[in-house]
Amino acid sequence: MIIRRYVVREMPEAVAMIRRELGKDAVILSTKKVKVKKWLGLWRRTCIEVIAASGDDVPLLADSARPGAGVRPSASVVRARGTGERPSAGAGTSARSGAPAPDPVFAVPGVANAASAETAERAGSERGEAPAGGAAIESVRQELAEVRRLLESAIAGRDLGLRGVLQQLARQGVNPEQIWPLIDSSGVWPTEEKDVLNPSLPARTEQLKTALSRRIVDSLAELRQAQPIDAKSRVVALVGPTGVGKTTTIAKLAALNVIGGQRRVGLITTDTYRIAAVEQLRTYASILNVPLEVVGQPQEMPGALERLRDRDLILIDTAGRNFRMDMYVQEMKTLLSAAPVDEVHLVLSLTTKPEDMDAVAEAFHTLPVHKLIFTKLDETLSHGAILNLMCKYRLPLSYVTTGQNVPDDLEVADIEKLLRVIFGGAA
């Protein structure tokens, strides 16, 4: 093997010399830039030092110097085909890309390797292949996609499960502001996080309904049990807006006591505003054979009570007014303060708009009111207002009414049954 060193200004110059002196099969073993002193060492010029070799054992050297052969090449090991001799197709052409390979003779150590790696990578990505170092990136990308899929499914599961419940509650007119704190404190989410990924959303919705309903019952605490007229209460007044069913409900309560023979009932009406009002209650009183007193002024109350002194239960019917006006509430307060009233039941019709019911309940809150009666449940499918008002004013239910029939359409309220209806189950 013959090895020669060439120091030239330009690579083509070296290639020409190598071909001429070492033949066309000569191999460039290394190239590097060197400073050459010129003119008595007064200044230096940058040149290229080229080491080339020829001979039978050169291919072995070249092979051992190839990347991946265990020896890191310190220089381009290329055949010095010469500048004028373009590589033939297939030999000097990149087999993968079809792009012409860079002329090896002009390859600069380090730069040549980097350039060829970049070219190969660019060619690979043009063909849609992941770059060599991109395998890890691709794996991370796939993992992120999977995490995203899981999160979306979790959010959808949680959202749809809860959405089903909230839609049902909204249909029932339940105020979400009342319910959210209960959902938050229900402990449903943290303890059942694994179920969020359960694809069975209907099951999830049912699970939520049960958990939330249980939570509402718990949060109602002392209101959980309905509180009909207490056995110890003797004077009971029903108040509420116009036409909600006060008089009819009084008739139902009186009738149940008369039929059941439980307590001797007496009636008082304070509704002297409407001409037919007194006659309406008098008709019921006469059918039930119970005494009726009419009280137009607070000062008439003691006399009426005295006349009913042998009665175990005195039910006071009041006039329906626009109780959003404070004046009427004050009037009612004055009238009822003339009697030793044990219980005041606020009667509200479920056919009234929720905000109007709320305004009336707010107005009566100072009376005070002790219990709530909801009427006309038969005329609406929406029962959420009951829950709203109970929660907001912390008042128990006494009765609900479900029609005009006296006395059949009156029931002691059943909270569990009410919640079943509100959550969309069977009554």
Ligand X SMILES: Nc1nc2c(ncn2[C@@H]2O[C@H](COP(=O)(O)OP(=O)(O)OP(=O)(O)O)[C@@H](O)[C@H]2O)c(=O)[nH]1
Please state the closest distance from residue 306 (CB atom) to ligand X, in A. Answer: 25
Q: Considering only 106-114, 259-267, 269-277, 329-337, which stretch makes contact with ligand X by CB under 6 A?
A: 269-277
Where does this chain bind Mg ion (CB under 5 A)? 246-247
Residue 8 or 359: the one with the smaller Cβ distance to ligand X is: 359
Does 403 help bind ligand X (rule: CB under 6 A)? yes
H or E stretch at 281: helix 275-288
> Which residues are CB-contacts of 35 (< 8 A; sequence separation ≥ 6)?
44, 45, 46, 47
Longest Cα–Cα distance in the chain: 144
270 contributes a contact to ligand X by CB under 6 A: no
CB of 402 to ligand X, least distance (A): 6
User: Contacting ligand X (CB under 6 A), which of 107, 376, 396, 413?
Assistant: 376
Round to whole Å and give the CA distance between 397 and 418.
11
Could you tell me which of 419, 402, 423, 420 has the C-alpha nearest to residue 411? 402
Name which of 53 and 350 has its Cβ closer to ligand X: 350
Q: Which residue, 74 or 405, is less far from Mg ion as judged by CB?
A: 405
Q: Are 58 and 25 in contact (CB under 8 A)?
A: yes
| Binding string, residues 223-252; x marks residues near ligand X by CB under 6 A | -------------------xxxxxxx----
CB of 177 to ligand X, least distance (A): 28
Q: In the complex, what is the shortest distance from the CB of residue 247 to Mg ion, in angstroms, rounded to a whole number?
A: 3
**Smallest separation (angstroms) from Mg ion to the CB of 238:** 9
Q: Are 30 and 50 in contact (CB under 8 A)?
A: yes
Kindly state the number of chain residues that form the binding site for ligand X, as judged by CB under 6 A.
Answer: 20
Which element (helix H / strand E) includes 37?
A: strand 27-38
Q: Residue 310: CB partners within 8 Å, gap ≥ 6? A: 264
User: Quick check: 293 and 267 in contact, CB under 8 A?
Assistant: yes
Which partner from the list Mg ion, ligand X, none does 404 bind, CB cut-off 5 to 8 Å by kind?
Answer: ligand X
Contact (CB, 8 A) for 279 and 234: no
- Are residues 58 and 27 in contact, defined by beta-carbon separation less than 8 angstroms? yes
CB nearer to ligand X: give 27 or 315: 315
Residues 305-324 that bind ligand X (CB under 6 A): 320
Site for ligand X in 71-90 (CB under 6 A): none
> What 3-state class would DSSP assign to 156?
helix
Query: How many angstroms separate the CA atoms of 35 and 48, rounded?
Result: 8
The residues pairing with 345 across neighbouring beta strands, listed in sequence order, are: 238, 371
CA distance 367 to 382: 28
Type of residue numbered 14: A
At 276, give phi and psi (nearest 5°).
-85, -5
Shortest approach of Mg ion to residue 385 CB, angstroms? 21
Residue, CB closest to ligand X:
320
Three-class SS of residue 185? helix
Choice between 65 and 250, CB closer to ligand X: 250
271 contacts ligand X (rule: CB under 6 A) = yes
Q: How far is the CB of 328 from ligand X (least distance, A)?
A: 12
Judged by DSSP in three states, 18 sits in helix
Instruction: State the nearest-atom distance from the C-beta of 254 to ligand X, in Å.
Output: 13
Tell me which of Mg ion, ligand X, none is bound by residue 186, counting a contact when its beta carbon lies within the kind-specific cut-off of 5 to 8 angstroms: none
Cβ nearer to ligand X, comparing 248 with 388: 248
DSSP annotation of 372 = E
**Interacting span for ligand X (CB under 6 A) from 123-131, 171-179, 361-369, 397-405:** 397-405
Q: Mark 274-293 with x for binding to ligand X (rule: CB under 6 A) and - for no binding.
A: x--x----------------
Sign of torsion over alpha carbons 237, 238, 239, 242: negative
CA-to-CA distance for 404 and 401, rounded, in angstroms? 8
Which of 65, 341 has the CB closer to Mg ion? Answer: 341
* Footprint (CB under 6 A) of ligand X, residues 146-205: none
User: CB of 268 within 8 A of CB of 292?
Assistant: yes
Q: By CB under 6 A, which span of 26-34, 128-136, 333-341, 373-381 interacts with ligand X? A: 373-381
- Comparison of 284 and 423: residue with beta carbon closer to Mg ion: 284
Please pick, from the candidates 57, 118, 326, 379, the single residue that binds ligand X as defined by CB under 6 A.
379
Residue numbers at the binding site for ligand X (CB under 6 A): 242-248, 271, 274, 277, 320, 375-376, 378-379, 401-404, 409
